[in-house]
Structure 1
């Protein structure tokens, strides 16, 4: 009886997890459509970093995307990420892509060391 109850709960959690993953993917696509820094960051930069360096390390990818964003802000002359909008979006996107592509040409020794540590747990 208890095993059936646990099994049912696990099945419910698995189906809920699948539903949430699908919803998350849907929202991520919508972010890519918006002409904002968040759209650039979440639909272009972080996926490129994941593709190049692997799935582990999302917090580091986020930090790199923020640093790239700081360079983009400085270049286009805005103070906040929210000031990246339809009027400067294309330029900001092109610059961010160029920066992340340049970054991805290099190995990331620090990340390799961290991954070794993460895999020990």
Structure 2
């Protein structure tokens, strides 16, 4: 069994592909950092970008309403991004923790 944990939240690995997430949300790449593993709360970081930079209603519906952790469209939109847009190579270049996780998985698979 292999057990790996993103540095803080899996969202740090998602936003590590800053070009992809920026294009997906239709915002400037400059809204994202080259050091996603250093963001203390990556999910809140995504919410902040959506709240202040996104114009599209479907992304605004990713934001949590009072008393909720995530909005109704959060999971569907994140899954859509990962499935259709996320570039793992770009993400690995910006996230040392993701790179280590992928290398660990690859080494385990090659030993099977």
Does the alignment reach a TM-score above 0.5?
no
Q: TM-score, normalised by structure 1?
A: 0.28
Return the index of the structure with the highest Cα Rg.
1
Q: Kindly indicate whether structure 1 or structure 2 has the higher relative contact order, using CA contacts under 8 Å at least 6 residues apart.
A: 2
Q: TM-score, normalised by structure 2?
A: 0.30
